[in-house]
Amino acid sequence: MTGTQELSAKARIGVLVGSHGRGSNMRALVEKCRSGHVPGEVVVVIAPRSSAPAVSVAQSLGIPVETPAPDAEFSRWLVDLIAAYRLRWLCLAGYMRLLPPEVLAALPGHVVNIHPALLPKFGGKGMWGMRVHQAVLDAGEKESGCTVHLVDERYDEGPIILQKRCPVFENDTPETLAERVLALEHEAYAEAMKRLIEAESGSGTFTER
Ligand code: GRF
């Protein structure tokens, strides 16, 4: 491949889902790439377990899925996978654990996460799923939303790429709020990846906020 072809090629994205993840953000990102909205291509879905519901979603979309062998050392395996698939970006979508430093070092500044609240509030260890939305309701917040951010070695603390907001209604339950936020997540992840990829290729602007 020549340098010019390399520059015009779509950015290669891997999506790391969670063991219990539905894969809805992964699906949305795949679709936004395929429609041309995001100048990238999801080339692999990585799942900690083959039983993850997101695995069958990825298979139905025709995306290769990788899961570690039971005896694999996860971080070594993931670093090798990043190289084997020549990933430029690793997008976490439902993955709940901290990534080991060697994985972050394999893709510096190119590991991205989505969180279902307006960070820096309502983030940190243990803040996932309905707990986040329950905490937002308990705090009496009038708005919530989602945050796309770069990943560092702490939970939910990396630089924010973008946030999208929605109202919180008085009669909301964690479930109704989660549904409203999830719809925003699907838009936000694609928009953030578009910005990041375009900024890197010089065809867009990106300012951290
Ligand atoms: C999303 O709410 C995301 O913000 C969080 O995990 C959930 C994953 O959902 N990090 P899905 O598997 O993408 O549907």
Q: Residue 90: beta bridge partners?
A: 14, 111
Whether the per-residue pLDDT at 124 is higher than 80: the answer is yes
Give which of 99, 53, 57, 106 is closest to 79, Cα–Cα: 106
The residue nearest atom 8 of ligand 1, judged by CA position, is 94
pLDDT score recorded for residue 21: 84
pLDDT score recorded for residue 3: 44
Span 9-52, pLDDT tens digits: 899 999 999 998 899 999 999 999 999 999 999 999 999 999 99
Task: Answer yes or no: is the C-beta of 87 below 6 A from any ligand 1 atom.
Answer: no
pLDDT score recorded for residue 204: 62
Start-end of H helices in the chain: 3-8, 24-34, 53-60, 74-84, 101-106, 130-138, 174-201
Span 132-186, pLDDT tens digits: 999 999 999 999 999 999 999 999 999 999 999 999 999 999 999 999 999 999 9
Ligand 1 center from residue 116 Cα (angstroms):
7
The residue nearest atom 10 of ligand 1, judged by CA position, is 94
Ligand 1 pocket: which of 182, 184, 193 to mutate (most atoms within 8 A of CB): 182
Secondary structure of residue 180 in the 3-state scheme: helix
pLDDT score recorded for residue 170: 97
Whether the per-residue pLDDT at 206 is higher than 70: the answer is no
Ligand 1 center from residue 3 Cα (angstroms):
36
Span 71-118, pLDDT tens digits: 999 999 999 999 999 999 999 999 999 999 999 999 999 999 999 999
* 110 a catalytic residue: no
Atom of ligand 1 nearest to the CA of 146: 4
Structure tokens at 179: 């549904």
